[in-house]
Structure 1
């Protein structure tokens, strides 16, 4: 699905049954609505001619049946359409969320706030096409019945209805294109504003720290003002559209009414036919209004579908392989060159605890990105192997099951402490992970324990608490290979010592790699690999390196 029209076709194809049912029922509704003034005109005509009371009773019974059809066809028709609409919107929300969580090419310029807007508002507006087309068809049914009945009464009246409807739709279809373009621009700018405020909230604490709150507010104000201006443009265009549609529809209804009155005055139609014509003219405003609004909603649905296509058609960061990792839980890098990393070669044996001391933060971050499979194989040279197999040949599920990289930015989610430590609810090591990460003080601090509510992004936790919570989550996952990137930078020295010992004990027998400059973690590692200028310059135990490498002493001494 690479374009908006393709997305709309998929949505329509998946809901053919519900749309047919809804179209039939809504067509019955519109037909019954049209029949009301026809029956009323017949009753008036019959009464004026002195018909029998029993026949009048039958006519009234027929009117009751028509009204019942109006009620029940609307109820069940809209129920079918709205159920299909809601279900389809849910499908697209899930599809966009699923695609948004997959790594995509870097040239797709969408932030998380924009993806959220697309997964909610745009998904809903795209699914509206499920209701729009049946309502459009049912409105057409009503217009056709009205035109045919008026043509039977007087041919010029029927011609007037059909010609007037065609003219109205021609004018409004031109205007609807402007609405679609304006709406698409508005959605993009509103999404940008949402992404900006999301970024600001995430960085609120550091902004306060260096006094950048005012500048950040001004940046948000600019993008928000652009979104506001575009929203005003859309509201103005929508207002002109709605006003024009109402004016044209009312003009057509008034013209039909006046013409019918003139024909009655001339004696060309009867009083009963006048009642029918006037009733149909007044009723015609509703289906014409609905009929004339549908092109606008079609354009809005198309604009939203185009927005969704930005995500759904985004090229993947890489094409996953088809193999599964081997039983060997070792890790190898052979001649890897990427960014500041140059011909990087080292291996970690299964069950080994290895610390990597990278003197340059950029090299540490790039190594973590490579191991997290955030870098496509085509963007680096050399080979990375997991379990003796190239990482590029493995399935995503296989990589994620075997290898877990816990990033340094320690994301925390709204929910409870337990939800954050064990999001899937399947870990058997929750208590052990909490103890190892020294999160026990946070748990003991609150009467709810692990059920203590955590705000979005961990706003009610300190930086050290968020970092320990993230570490506990990584340990509870218990992967074959665990990579920790700076897991203790926000904790004090005593806590860091305890965490280092606890992690070593909990991970005994499983492969663990810690990218860090922490003396406590370096000291408990089986082996330390030193990276300087993106290449391996030393290797040994922490104490051995301290005794013979002055550069290492300067880099890790605290």
Structure 2
């Protein structure tokens, strides 16, 4: 017996498409009605022309001409309005659904307990944009498919009333066209899925290159990195060419088959009229329908391709949405106390770290090995699943693994030394939600005041993506200001002053100690200024805490410490 989880893992793409259809069933129903009305009106036009010719030839009177013109005007009005409002409904639903999937994929990719999808951030970006858009196309594709079927059926019925053979020819031709193109559409779906994957890999590669551009220049690895990117980009280009060829073959085959069917209907109608089996009016109707039916047939034959493309994109979205989280967060909340307790943590280079930071204490951790500092910060930031390391981390006397992500984030904030700067303003970077009560104090404590004063816009000064119009020191102080403005119960800073000069570093260290008084603060650093401002310094060496005391005590008692931190 197959469990529901296994079923979801086997058909995640179809589940996503069903969800999209279910959420937009109302809009799709109205869109189908209006687009069906549009297609029926398009098909009714040659039928009406045939009837007008038939009656005119029989009666030989022109008195009915104004009535006929009025009838045609009504048909044209119905066609125009139904298309206008039908497409408005469907495109609005399509755009809204694409937005929903983009937000959902982004939420999965950005959550603190990341999903184990095996995808890089650049690939997730492509999935959250192009694949989300193509998946949402199913909302528009299904009504258009049904409406085109309505047009084909109306034409087949109308032709059957003139001659059964004409009606059967249209139905048989439509079925044959759909069968041939359905087979070809599978190839398009497979090729499109592979193309999206290769484009995503190329995007991830270039994102990595941009992030590591300076280090690459430093050791001369930029040319090797460029060659690596060129390889994956070439693969993406070749796959795009393959997809274009398959699409071209599909479009050409669809056009040829539709043309063959239209010509066949016209020739058969002409032969039947010549044999006096149908009237001249019915011939006019048949030839007109053969021309008008080209559009719904083209639409009808294109739909399998778009369905397969939507399915392929949905399958790629499922890589993110259906992936299990790296860790299952708990549901508890920490106690109001601001204690931080690390008990026997073993992970990577950490070999049983034990330390306790009491509520309101300012503690500095001097990590002799940069990797140990990075690993400790990652554990506290929930970037490492609790089951991936031994020992326990307690926040407010509760294990970190038992806390919900939201409550953990409310209680403890870990600010990395390379915090991202976003396009926007200084204000939006420091206080993204606009709710901080510590904005002015954070700006002053981080000494970002000179940047604010330098521009007449002040805190509303525009910041470019990644802070490209700011210096390294300004970006670092902006990131520090954001961390201080959050005013979290427990704040962990890692190397917050590496890009500023010694005088600024000294002032920032004092300001942090003053602003964070009575709030638990941990700084992982080798900065003498920050170490001196701390209430207590813990020395982390070879994966364990080997010494503790004030900065000045350790300078006099521990020669290794003195050599490591003095500069």
State the TM-score, normalizing by the size of structure 1.
0.98
Q: Deviations over 1:138-169 (max 9, x none)?
A: 11111111111111111111111111111111
Contact 1:30 1:70 in 2 (8 A): yes
Q: Hey, what's the Cα distance between the residues in 2 that align with 1:103 and 1:484? A: 17
Q: Hey, what's the Cα distance between the residues in 1 that align with 2:533 and 2:241? A: 62
Contact 2:113 2:405 in 1 (8 A): no
Matches within 5 A, 1:94-243: 94-103=103-112, 107-243=116-252
1:511: Cα distance to partner?
A: 0.5
Q: Hey, what's the Cα distance between the residues in 2 that align with 1:63 and 1:441? A: 73
Q: Deviations over 1:353-376 (max 9, x none)?
A: 000111111111111111111111
Task: Give the 3 Å change call, closer, same or farther, for CA 207–455 of structure 1 in structure 2.
Answer: farther
1:496: Cα distance to partner?
A: 1.0
Matches within 5 A, 1:367-406: 367-406=376-415
Contact 2:115 2:323 in 1 (8 A): no
1:474: Cα distance to partner?
A: 0.6
Q: Hey, what's the Cα distance between the residues in 2 that align with 1:556 and 1:137? A: 73
Q: Which residue is equivalent to 1:469?
A: 478
Q: Which residue is equivalent to 2:442?
A: 433
Structure 2 SS opposite 1:315: coil
Q: Hey, what's the Cα distance between the residues in 1 that align with 2:417 and 2:130? A: 33
Q: Which residue is equivalent to 2:550?
A: 541
Q: 2:34 aligns with which of 25, 31, 40?
A: 25
Q: Which residue is equivalent to 2:67?
A: 58
Q: Hey, what's the Cα distance between the residues in 2 that align with 1:105 and 1:517? A: 30
Q: Hey, what's the Cα distance between the residues in 2 that align with 1:81 and 1:107? A: 35
Q: Deviations over 1:93-134 (max 9, x none)?
A: 111111111145675222222212111111111111011011
Q: 2:323 aligns with which of 314, 322, 345?
A: 314
Contact 2:366 2:540 in 1 (8 A): yes
The answer to whether the aligner puts 1:510 opposite 2:532 as a matched pair is no
State the TM-score, normalizing by the size of structure 2.
0.96
Q: Hey, what's the Cα distance between the residues in 2 that align with 1:204 and 1:392? A: 36
Larger mean Cα displacement after TM superposition, 94-103 or 269-278: 94-103
Q: 2:466 aligns with which of 452, 457, 477?
A: 457
Structure 1 SS opposite 2:283: helix
The answer to whether the aligner puts 1:262 opposite 2:271 as a matched pair is yes
Contact 1:102 1:316 in 2 (8 A): no
Q: Hey, what's the Cα distance between the residues in 1 that align with 2:355 and 2:114? A: 28
Task: Give the 3 Å change call, closer, same or farther, for CA 406–557 of structure 1 in structure 2.
Answer: same
Contact 1:500 1:524 in 2 (8 A): yes
Q: Hey, what's the Cα distance between the residues in 1 that align with 2:115 and 2:539? A: 30
1:61: Cα distance to partner?
A: 2.1
The answer to whether the aligner puts 1:48 opposite 2:57 as a matched pair is yes
Larger mean Cα displacement after TM superposition, 451-460 or 194-203: 194-203
Q: Deviations over 1:57-105 (max 9, x none)?
A: 3333222211111111111111111111111111111111111111456
Q: Hey, what's the Cα distance between the residues in 2 that align with 1:100 and 1:107? A: 10
Contact 1:104 1:315 in 2 (8 A): no
Q: Unaligned regions of 5+ residues in structure 2, if any?
A: 1-7
Q: Hey, what's the Cα distance between the residues in 1 that align with 2:281 and 2:123? A: 59
Q: Which residue is equivalent to 2:4?
A: none
1:54: Cα distance to partner?
A: 3.7
Larger mean Cα displacement after TM superposition, 377-386 or 96-105: 96-105
Give RMSD over aligned pairs: 1.4
Q: 1:412 aligns with which of 417, 421, 429?
A: 421
1:213: Cα distance to partner?
A: 3.3
1:52: Cα distance to partner?
A: 4.0
Q: Hey, what's the Cα distance between the residues in 2 that align with 1:104 and 1:382? A: 19
Q: Hey, what's the Cα distance between the residues in 2 that align with 1:195 and 1:526? A: 43
Q: 1:294 aligns with which of 303, 307, 324?
A: 303
1:472: Cα distance to partner?
A: 0.9
Contact 1:105 1:314 in 2 (8 A): no
Q: Which residue is equivalent to 1:68?
A: 77
Q: Which residue is equivalent to 2:3?
A: none
Q: Unaligned regions of 5+ residues in structure 1, if any?
A: none
Larger mean Cα displacement after TM superposition, 257-266 or 104-113: 104-113
1:521: Cα distance to partner?
A: 0.7
Q: Hey, what's the Cα distance between the residues in 2 that align with 1:412 and 1:553? A: 34
Q: Deviations over 1:454-491 (max 9, x none)?
A: 11111122222111111111111111110000111111
